[in-house]
Amino acid sequence: MHAQENSHLATILAQNYFLPRNLSIYRVAKDTGIQGKLLCGILTGRQRLSVRETLLLDRYFNEEDGFFAKIQLDYELRNERQRLTSASPVS
């Protein structure tokens, strides 16, 4: 499964992993040991993944270690690069 260009991790998780498999937050939380409230925050974009949650989700969805962390970091890098590019230079 490949990440869509410029998509937030929450969107990718929901559209490519949760919805196609008809998974609930409760089911994934129970299966992975990630707290449901935290998982809900990740899926709504209010919470970032920690290294622990990244590895748990990577393994749960049979992705290589660091897969979801890379998606999260790529998204943040693109946004920060765009913000810095559009910011006016300091004299």
Q: Could you tell me the two tokens for 65?
A: 């270690």
The span from the CA of 66 to the CA of 84, in Å, is 26
Residue 76's Cβ-side half-sphere holds a number of Cα atoms within 13 Å equal to 12
pLDDT tens-digit series, residues 22-33:
999 999 999 999
The answer to whether residue 88 scores a pLDDT higher than 90 is: no
pLDDT at 22: 98
Domains in the chain and their CATH numbers? 9-85 (1.10.260.40)
Is the sign of the CA dihedral 8, 73, 39, 44 positive or negative? negative
Predicted model pTM: 0.84
Which string of b and e fits 22-52 if b means at least 16 CB within 10 Å? ebebeebbeebebeeebbeebbeeeeebeee
